[in-house]
Amino acid sequence: MTGAQALVQALELVGADTVFGLPGGTILPTYDPLYDSEAVRHILVRHEQGAGHAAQGYAMVTGKVGVCMATSGPGATNLVTAIADAYMDSVPIVAITGQVNSAAIGTDAFQEADIRGITMPITKHNFLVTKPEDIPHAIAAAFHLAATGRPGPVLVDISKDAQQAEAEFVWPEQLDLPGYRPVTQPHAKQIREAVKLIEAAHRPVLYVGGGVTKSRAYDELAELVELTGIPVVTTLTARGAIPDSHPLNFGMPGMHGTVPAVGALQRSDLLISLGARFDDRVTGNLDSFAPDAKVIHADIDPAEISKNRYADVPIVGDVGEVMRQLHTALAGAELQDLKPWQERLQSMAERYPTGWEPPVDDVLSPQQVISRIGEIAGPDAYFAAGVGQHQMWAAHFLPHERPGHWLNSGGAGTMGYCVPAAMGAKVGQPDAVVWGIDGDGCFQMTNQELTTCALEGIPIKIAVINNQSLGMVRQWQTLFYDGRYSNTDLKTNMVPNFPKLAEAMGCVGLRATHPDEVDEVINQAMAINDRPVVVEFVVHKDAMVWPMVAAGTSNDAIKIARDMAPDWEDEIL
């Protein structure tokens, strides 16, 4: 068979049922046999970046490897943002790209781009395949690499002549991956050392990151919390790993985290980091971060441990297995009385709740809009968000009660993530309600994928939170640049007309400008299941995201509103 036929057969054998892609000259040989495949559904996107984010969304809600496909040159480079996003957030995707004929590689041939070299720093691994007989092994290896160890993106770049040439199809019985041996089982000695620190701690905190979500170790986390009574904070990418309604969940720490979550880390004497990486958005000024805390750092990627914060007890392994072994080792252990610590954090949560001031003159509050979407859609819905103010409000005010129902660009902070990620999520969970919470700036980057959704029967619901500006940048300009709003006014009160734009793409377009209209348009959107729906909410322009820790400052400098900060002197036990 041809290399292209081998590629399609390999995709079928690894269980890939969906490919998001867009054809072009060098991948065209593969699109011919793909046309006949009954096992693999191809979804024709409008831009390759959309294919990449859709593959991410699909992977996030299914736990499977997402697949995207593009041709050479600009087709391949259009995937780069999504690949980088998947790398930062450890999302398992395989990107398949066509390459120019092998004899032309390095000659600046038409649409030649060294996509392997370009993506070397942002992929877990990548392959350049120039022989048809190498294609089955490359695909099998790519899926294995993407899904095992620390998940991430893998690129397979295949020359056009390798797709056209013929060879015997040989499916590998074993994968030849020299040096690739991810450690999933934690070392028993490190578990014992961790137990000693937990037994001695008076103010421990479980600092839960996206690794728990990728490992789907929700039951293990819940059991560890119930056994120990240790308070929990969840990073942006881990929202929902434990329900917000759990009395020991104090929310999201960091730059826009809750006061009790930030206070818990800063006043802790032991951080138990589970699949988190001490990102600067969490730590603030690293020198002043959690000054009294010892650290137990568990992560499947040894490169993350002690990278930013020294780990007193490093544990390399799958966080689910780490928590299972901690649970066993802690059974019967005598922990310190954590009641005073729990009560102090609960008191902090009551005194510094995360909320908002309703705007005057009947203008829509973006926080209230997002909150109502969550209340009406319910916790079983899946929510994707763009990047900016609406992302932070969505992180705080949506119902994060179900694990794995929150899709977000955490590490890269990619504007344009929302619409295609929601599309991928709906393909992966076709019977679920999928909402995207997007900003007017983000939406204008990738909204063309709504055409894909309309034609492919993918009825997602997108809320455009229209504050007529690049809101988060405007907030920084308000606070740090004396209100000089240089190039952040998008003038989306003039163009585009979002409902008409949505209708032009085959969607239903709705708009709310008054508080009395909010529930009505959300309920209308919920009732429409045969087409995508776009709801524009025209909101207050100067709404701010609070709390906030200014970039590069200490978490102790958190503000709950402009010129208002907690009195940390009262928080000393």
For 419-468, how does the pLDDT look when each residue is reduced to its tens digit (9 = 90+)?
A: 999 999 999 999 999 999 999 999 999 999 999 999 999 999 999 999 99
The per-residue pLDDT for range 228-250, each reduced to its tens digit, is 999 999 999 999 999 999 999 99
Nearest to 475 by CA among 467, 284, 445: 467
8-state DSSP, 187: P
pLDDT at 441: 98
Nearest to 296 by CA among 262, 271, 321, 260: 271
Is 160 noted as a catalytic residue in this protein? yes
pLDDT at 567: 79
- In the chain, residues under CATH classification 3.40.50.970 are 3-164, 366-538
The per-residue pLDDT for range 259-286, each reduced to its tens digit, is 999 999 999 999 999 999 999 999 999 9
571: CB partners within 8 A, 6+ apart: 263, 267, 344, 348
CA-CA distance, 220 to 212, in Å (whole number)?
9
pLDDT at 361: 85
Q: Which of 64, 124, 160, 426 is catalytic?
A: 160
The per-residue pLDDT for range 283-316, each reduced to its tens digit, is 999 999 999 999 999 999 999 999 999 999 999 9
- In the chain, residues under CATH classification 3.40.50.1220 are 188-351
What predicted TM-score, i.e. pTM, was given to this entire model? Answer: 0.97
Q: Which of 5, 9, 48, 477 is catalytic?
A: 48
Residue 135 pLDDT > 80, yes or no? Answer: yes
Topology classification of domain 3-164: Rossmann fold (3.40.50)
The values of phi and psi at residue 497, to 5°, are -85, 105
CA-CA distance, 252 to 268, in Å (whole number)?
15
The per-residue pLDDT for range 468-488, each reduced to its tens digit, is 999 999 999 999 999 999 999
Share of the chain above pLDDT 90, in %: 95
Q: Report the chain's mean pLDDT, rounded to a whole number.
A: 97
In CATH terms, is domain 366-538 a member of 3.40.50.970? Answer: yes
pLDDT at 401: 98
Do you know the residue count of the chain? 573
CB–CB of 386/442 below 8 Å?
yes
Q: Which of 1, 12, 111, 517 is catalytic?
A: 111
Beta strands in 160-255 (DSSP E): 204-208, 232-234
In which band, very low, low, confident or very high, does the pLDDT at 570 lie, cut at 50, 70 and 90? Answer: low
In which band, very low, low, confident or very high, does the pLDDT at 566 lie, cut at 50, 70 and 90? Answer: confident
The per-residue pLDDT for range 359-387, each reduced to its tens digit, is 888 999 999 999 999 999 999 999 999 99
The per-residue pLDDT for range 382-422, each reduced to its tens digit, is 999 999 999 999 999 999 999 999 999 999 999 999 999 99
Is 571 noted as a catalytic residue in this protein? no
Residue 332 pLDDT > 90, yes or no? Answer: no
Q: Which CATH architecture has domain 188-351?
A: 3-Layer(aba) Sandwich (3.40)
HSE on the CB side for 390, CA within 13 Å?
37
Share of the chain above pLDDT 70, in %: 99
CB–CB of 291/316 below 8 Å?
no
Average pLDDT over residues 190-215: 98
The per-residue pLDDT for range 28-71, each reduced to its tens digit, is 999 999 999 999 999 999 999 999 999 999 999 999 999 999 99
The per-residue pLDDT for range 145-189, each reduced to its tens digit, is 999 999 999 999 999 999 999 999 999 999 999 999 999 999 999
Is 110 noted as a catalytic residue in this protein? yes
pLDDT at 452: 98
Q: Which two tokens stand for residue 82?
A: 């999504």
CA-CA distance, 566 to 569, in Å (whole number)?
9
